[in-house]
Chain A
C-alpha cells in the first residue's frame, strides 16, 4: 500500500498538505523545510519543482520559483538533495511541477528517479487527460507512483468521475477556477464540496487554492478529507527568519 493510501486509512479528516518550493528560500534549504513541516504537523509535503512559466500558479509561488531558479535549482540537484530524505522524512511526499522541465530530464528517467528517492506521487497540472491515457500514465504506474488529477467546480460530472478513476492517492479539488493565492468565497466552495461528497468518489479529496489560515482550513475541512496550503506558507517563508520558527508558528496557527 502506498504511503498516501496508508495515511488516508489512518486519518480521513483534516489532512494537511503543505506546499513548498524546492530550493526556496535557499538552494539547500529544501530538506530543512520538509523536516520542519513534518515535525510541526503537516501530513503530506507537496514539493514544487520551479519552472520559468508556471501557468497554474499565482504571483507568490511563481516568485518563489524564480528565487529557486536563481539559486540554481534543477531537477538533478533536487534528486541529489532528496537522495537520503527517507532517513528523516516519513510522511508522504508528492512532487508538483510542469511538464517541460520533466520532458527535458526524460519522463521515464524522472519517474524512475522519483521512485528511487522515495517520492510517493506526482501532481502535474499541465499533463492533460488524453496524453496521460495514451502515453505518460503507463510510465507513472510502472514506477508505482501515485498520480493526482485536479478537478474544479467547472469540471463536468462525467469527466470528474473519469479523473477520479485515474487518480490514485487523492484527488485535488481546486476551490474555484482561479490560480493559486487568490481569495475565495467560501460559502460557494462549501456547496461545491458538498456536491463532491455526495458523489462518493474513489479517492480522498484535498482542497487547494485560497486556503491560507485556520478559518479557511476549517471551512473546507468540514466537507472534505483535508486541504492544501501553498501561497500563504511561501509568503511566511519569504519574510526571512528561521525556517523552523516560521513553520512552527504558521502550522500552529492553522491547526490549533
Chain B
C-alpha cells in the first residue's frame, strides 16, 4: 500500500498529518485557510510556556486534575491480576472530554476567534464545549443529530443552561456523523471568526494530533502515578474504549513508543460484530475518507458511509481516528470489542464491586478484562473515561427488564 509516512514514531504524524497511510487533510478548498492557520500555529501555541501555564492551571483548579489512579482491589482479585483505574470520570463535567475543550478554547482565544462550534453525539463533548465557552465568555453553537437530541434530553438541557445554542442536524441519518458534517459546513460558511472544536482524534490534520496532545495529560499522569504506586512508570497493559478514540489516544499517548506496553483498544460490537448492528470499525471497515482524514471506515462496497450501531452514543461512529487505524494496521495496538449486552452487564458489575457507576462507553473497556488472560504479575490500567449519570435512563430500563 502507498504510504505517505514511513516513520514509526507513533506520537508524531508527518508534516501533512500522516500516520503511515492514514490521516492527511482531505478538505474542500473552502476550509483550506482555516485549517492551514491551525496547522502552522498549533504546535507553536501549545508549546508556548504561557499557554502551558494557563492550560495546566485550569486542568488543576477547574477540571480537578490530576485524576486519581485507583487500585481496584476486588476487581483485581476477580480477574487475577493488578488493575488500576484512571479516574477520568472524576473530571468536571464527568468525562475526559474537557481536557481537550480547555486546550482548544485557549487556542481559539490566541487565534483571535470569537465564536465556537462543535459537534456532539451523546452530548458529552457538547457539554464540555459549552462549559469552557461559558468559562471564557465565548459564543457557542453545538450541532447535534436530531435523533440524538431526542435520545439525550438531559445533556441538551445542560448545554442550554450553559448558554449554548443547540442546532439539530437534520441531514442524512441525523446522528453524530451528520452533526459533524453540519458543523464542518457551518465552519465553511463562516470561517474567519469561528473555531471548530472537534471532540475526538478525528477530522483533518492537525485535529487528530492536536486532540491527542491535549488528551495526553491522561497518560502523562499515569506514568507518574504508576511510578509512585508500583515503582515502575510502565504498566504491562493499557485498556481503553474507542469510538473516534480520544480517551484511548490520551491513555496510550506516552506509552506509544514503549514497546513493552500492550495497548488494548475496545470497540463497540453492538449486537455482535457481524450482526449488522455494530460499531466495530476495525473489524468491519476498510480504508476510506470521512470528515477530512483517511482512516478505517465502515462503508458499503460502493463507498457510502454506513450508519453504525452501539448502545452507547459515544461509540456510535462509523470511523476511527487515523492514529488508531495505524495502531491497528501496524499491530502496535490490540483491537477487540464488546457487545451492548456485555457492556451493560459490566456497567452493573463495576458498580457493585467497586462502587463506581461507569459510562456505557467506558463499560465496554471493562467487559473484555475476563477474556484477556492476564498474568498475576501484570499491571493493567483501564481508562475509566466517564461516569454513568448520563446513562441512567438506559440503566433504569435494564433494571426494569431484570425484575
Specify which chain A residues have a CB less than 8 angstroms from the CB of B25 in the assembled complex. 128
Q: Which of A58, A128, A182 is the one whose CB lies under 8 Å from B27?
A: A128
Residue B302 at the chain A interface, CB threshold 8 Å: yes
Is B303 in the interface zone, CB < 8 Å from A?
A: yes
Of all A-B residue pairs in the complex, the 4 with the closest CB atoms, nearest first, are A101-B303, A104-B303, A56-B28, A154-B33
Given contacts A126-B27, A128-B27, contact A55 B172 (CB under 8 A): no
- Interface core residue of A76, A100, A134, A152 (most chain B CB under 10 Å): A100
**Sampled A-B contacts (18; CB under 8 Å):** A51-B304, A52-B305, A53-B290, A55-B181, A56-B30, A74-B302, A100-B297, A100-B303, A101-B304, A103-B288, A104-B286, A128-B24, A130-B16, A150-B29, A154-B191, A155-B29, A177-B191, A182-B189
| A125 cross-chain contacts in B, Cβ below 8 A | 28-29
CB distance from A179 to the nearest CB of B (A): 5
* B 279-319 to A, binary, CB cutoff 8 A, 1 in contact else 0: 00000001111111000010101111100000000000000
Residues of A with C-beta under 8 A to B297 = 100
Chain A CB count within 10 A is highest, among B33, B287, B297, B301, for B33
- Given A74-B302, A150-B30, 6 further pairs, Cβ under 8 A: A62-B171, A66-B172, A98-B289, A105-B302, A105-B303, A150-B29
B172 partner residues in chain A, CB cutoff 8 A: 52-53, 62, 66
Cβ-based interface call for A59 (8 A) = yes
Q: Does B177 contact A (CB under 8 A)?
A: yes
The residues of A with any CB-CB pair to B shorter than 8 Å are 51-53, 55-56, 58-59, 62-63, 66, 69, 74-76, 98-105, 125-128, 130-131, 134-135, 149-152, 154-156, 159, 163, 174, 177-179, 182
Bound Cα distance from A102 to B28, whole angstroms: 16
In the complex, chain A residues whose CB is within 8 Å of the CB of B328: none
Structural contact, A131 and B286, CB atoms closer than 8 A: no
Give every chain B residue within 8 A of A149 (Cβ-Cβ): 29
Q: Which of B184, B189, B304 contacts A177 (CB 8 A)?
A: B189
A-contacting residues, B148-198, CB 8 Å: 171-172, 177, 181, 184-185, 188-189, 191
Q: Which residues of A contact B403 (CB under 8 A)?
A: none
Judging by beta carbons under 8 Å apart, are B290 and A178 in contact?
no
- B-chain residues with CB within 8 Å of residue A155 when the two chains form the complex: 29, 32-33
Number of A-B pairs whose CB atoms are under 8 Å? 112
**B303 near A152: Cβ-Cβ < 8 Å:** no
Which of A62, A128, A134, A179 meets B26, CB within 8 Å?
A128
CA distance A70 to B29 in the complex (A): 29
- Measured in the bound complex, the distance between the Cα atoms of B294 and A130 in whole Å is 14
* Nearest neighbor of A182 in chain B, beta-carbon distance: B189
* In the complex, B4 has a CB within 8 A of chain A: yes
B53 at the interface (CB under 8 A from A): no
Selected from A55, A131, A150, A179, the residue in CB contact (under 8 A) with B24 is: A131
Known contacts A66-B172, A179-B189, A182-B189, A100 near B29 by CB under 8 Å: no
Interface centre among A53, A159, A179 (most CB of B within 10 A): A53
Of B185, B191, B286, B288, the residue contacting A55 (CB under 8 A) is B185
Q: A128-B25, A152-B29, A154-B32 in contact; A53/B305 too (CB < 8 A)?
A: yes
Q: How far is the CA of A128 from the CA of B289 in the complex (A)?
A: 12
- Judge whether A177 and B30 touch: CB under 8 Å: yes
Instruction: Report how far A59 CA is from B182 CA in the complex, Å.
Output: 10
Determine the chain B residues whose CB is within 8 A of the CB of A156 once the complex forms. 33
Q: Which chain B residues border A75 with CB–CB below 8 Å?
A: 302-303
Query: In the complex the two chains form, is B24's CB within 8 Å of A69's CB?
Result: no
Interface centre among B32, B172, B184 (most CB of A within 10 A): B32
> Which residues of the partner chain A approach B303 to less than 8 Å between Cβ atoms?
51, 75, 100-105
Residue of B30, B171, B299 ringed by the most chain A CB atoms within 10 A: B30
CB distance from A252 to the nearest CB of B (A): 31
- Are B33 and A126 within 8 A (Cβ)? no
Q: Which residues of the partner chain A approach B402 to less than 8 Å between Cβ atoms? A: none
B289 neighbours in A (Cβ, 8 Å) = 98-100, 103, 126
Complexed CA–CA distance, A53 and B301 (Å): 15
Report which of B189, B191, B292, B302 forms a contact with A104, defined as CB distance below 8 A: B302
Least CB separation from A130: chain B residue:
B16
Q: CB-nearest residue of chain B relative to A172?
A: B29
Task: Note all chain A residues with C-beta closer than 8 A to B331.
Answer: none
Contacts of B29 in A (CB 8 A): 125, 149-152, 155, 163, 174
At the interface, yes or no: B371 with Cβ under 8 Å from chain A?
Answer: no
User: Which residue on B lies nearest to A149, using beta carbons?
Assistant: B29
* Chain A neighbourhood of B171, CB < 8 A: 59, 62-63
Q: Is A131 a contact partner of B33 (Cβ separation < 8 A)?
A: no
- A104 contacts B26, C-beta separation under 8 Å: no
Judge whether B304 and A52 touch: CB under 8 Å: yes
Contact B32 A152 (CB under 8 A): yes
Q: How far is the CA of A56 from the CA of B289 in the complex (A)?
A: 14
Chain B residues, CB < 8 A from A127: 26
CB distance from B23 to the nearest CB of A (A): 11
**B305 contacts across to A, CB distance below 8 A:** 52-53, 100
In angstroms, Cα B299 to Cα A224, docked, is 40
Contacts of B181 in A (CB 8 A): 53, 55
What residues of A have a CB within 8 angstroms of the CB of B33 in the complex? Answer: 152, 154-156, 177
* Contacting residues of chain B (6-56) with chain A, CB-CB under 8 angstroms: 16, 24-30, 32-33
Contact in complex: A152, B26 (CB < 8 Å)? no
| CB-defined contacts of B304 to chain A, threshold 8 Å | 51-52, 69, 101
Indicate which residue in A52, A66, A135 contacts B2 across the interface (CB closer than 8 Å): A135
A125→B191 CA distance, assembly (Å): 17
A155 to B33, CA, bound (A): 7
If A104-B303, A125-B29 touch, whether A177 touches B24 (CB-CB below 8 Å) is: no
Contact A174 B30 (CB under 8 A): yes
In angstroms, Cα B181 to Cα A163, docked, is: 26
Q: Are B26 and A99 in contact (CB under 8 A)?
A: yes
A239 to B304, CA, bound (A): 26
> Across the interface, which residues of A come within 8 angstroms of B27, CB to CB?
55, 126, 128
Name the CB-closest residue of A to B2: A135
